[in-house]
């Protein structure tokens, strides 16, 4: 229904429609005249008064550079248009809520977000963050995963937290998780950028059983590494494994 109307708008420099079923482009003079007449009148009311889809050539400051070559006309926001084609701007249509509020630019409409009559955005449009390409293929020279320093941290943590602790089935599951989280938080501080860290802690009761803990990984030996630490006392043992993997 709005096809004819929009077509006309795009082609005309100053799109302006009055009350007619067929939209007619008008000159600047007529536009100015109309605006003057509108400003003198109190407001849109009265049966013979036609509600207007008034479109001015004012543009918001943001869109000046964009709109210069095109001279795109502006639209009013709140227009609930009837379905019939011919009666788009007909004065006899009662539920056309075309109001005389402020105008805003067509380009602004495209940017998304609703615009109030004062021209301000009601909701800030969500701006996507575009991160520039760093063209980095590997970690920086001094920023690799430091296995020896990580091992020292790991060993120190285990020793300090498990000194004199007795194995108990109820508390040791929490202890184990707590240790894993603690080690991770300590490593986050020393972790070089772009590295993912996987930390695993195994705590077991010291009995007369045999146990074997083994790990193998598919990774890039130039950039990635791992480290481990073991602690045991009379009642429990603990094994901590940390892998540092470079993330491109």
> Where on the chain is the footprint of other proteins (CB under 8 A)?
167, 169, 172-173, 175-177, 179-181, 183-184, 187-188, 191, 196-220, 224, 226, 241, 243, 245, 247-248
Closer CB to other proteins, 116 or 217, in the complex = 217
Burial 89-115 (b: 16+ CB within 10 A, else e): bebeeeebebbeebbbbbbbeeeeeeb
Residue 11 dihedral angles phi and psi, to the nearest 5°? -80, -30
For residue 245, what is the enclosing H or E element?
strand 236-246
| Closest to 98 (Cα-Cα) out of 49, 59, 27 | 49
Longest CA–CA span in the chain (Å) reads 101
Q: Which residue is it, tokens 């060993």?
A: 155
Q: Which is nearer to other proteins, 26 or 203 (CB)?
A: 203
Q: What is the DSSP letter of 63?
A: G
Residue 170 corresponds to which tokens in the numbers above? 């109820």
CA distance 13 to 68: 11
Minimum CB distance to other proteins, residue 219 (Å):
5
**Closer residue to other proteins, CB minimum distance, 26 or 199:** 199
Shortest gap between Cβ of 148 and other proteins (angstroms)? 20
Minimum distance from CB of 216 to other proteins (Å)?
Answer: 4
Q: How far is the CB of 206 from other proteins (least distance, A)?
A: 7
Between 70 and 247, CB nearer to other proteins: 247
Smaller CB distance to other proteins: residue 21 or 177? 177
């Amino acid at each position: 229904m709005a096809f004819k109307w929009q077509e006309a708008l795009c082609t005309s420099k100053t799109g302006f429609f009055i009350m007619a079923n067929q939209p007619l482009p008008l000159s600047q003079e007529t536009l100015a005249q109309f605006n003057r007449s509108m400003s003198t009148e109190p407001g849109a009311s009265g049966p013979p008064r036609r509600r207007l889809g008034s479109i001015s050539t004012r543009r918001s400051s943001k869109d000046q550079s964009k709109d210069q070559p095109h001279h795109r006309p502006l639209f009013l926001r709140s227009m609930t248009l009837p379905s019939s084609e011919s009666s788009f701007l007909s004065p006899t249509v009662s539920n056309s809520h075309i109001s005389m509020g402020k105008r805003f630019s067509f380009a602004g409409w495209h940017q998304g977000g609703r615009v109030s009559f004062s021209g301000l955005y009601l909701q800030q449009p969500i701006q996507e963050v575009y991160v520039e390409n760093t063209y980095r293929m590997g970690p920086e020279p001094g920023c690799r995963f430091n296995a020896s320093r990580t091992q020292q941290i790991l060993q120190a943590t285990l020793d300090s937290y498990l000194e004199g602790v007795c194995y108990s089935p109820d508390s040791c599951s929490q202890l184990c998780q707590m240790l894993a989280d603690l080690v991770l938080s300590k490593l986050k501080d020393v972790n070089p950028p772009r590295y993912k860290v996987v930390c695993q802690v195994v705590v077991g009761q010291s009995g007369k059983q045999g146990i074997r803990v083994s790990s193998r990984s598919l990774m890039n030996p130039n950039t990635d590494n791992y480290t481990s630490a073991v602690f045991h006392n009379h009642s429990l043992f603990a094994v901590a494994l940390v892998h540092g993997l470079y993330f491109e």
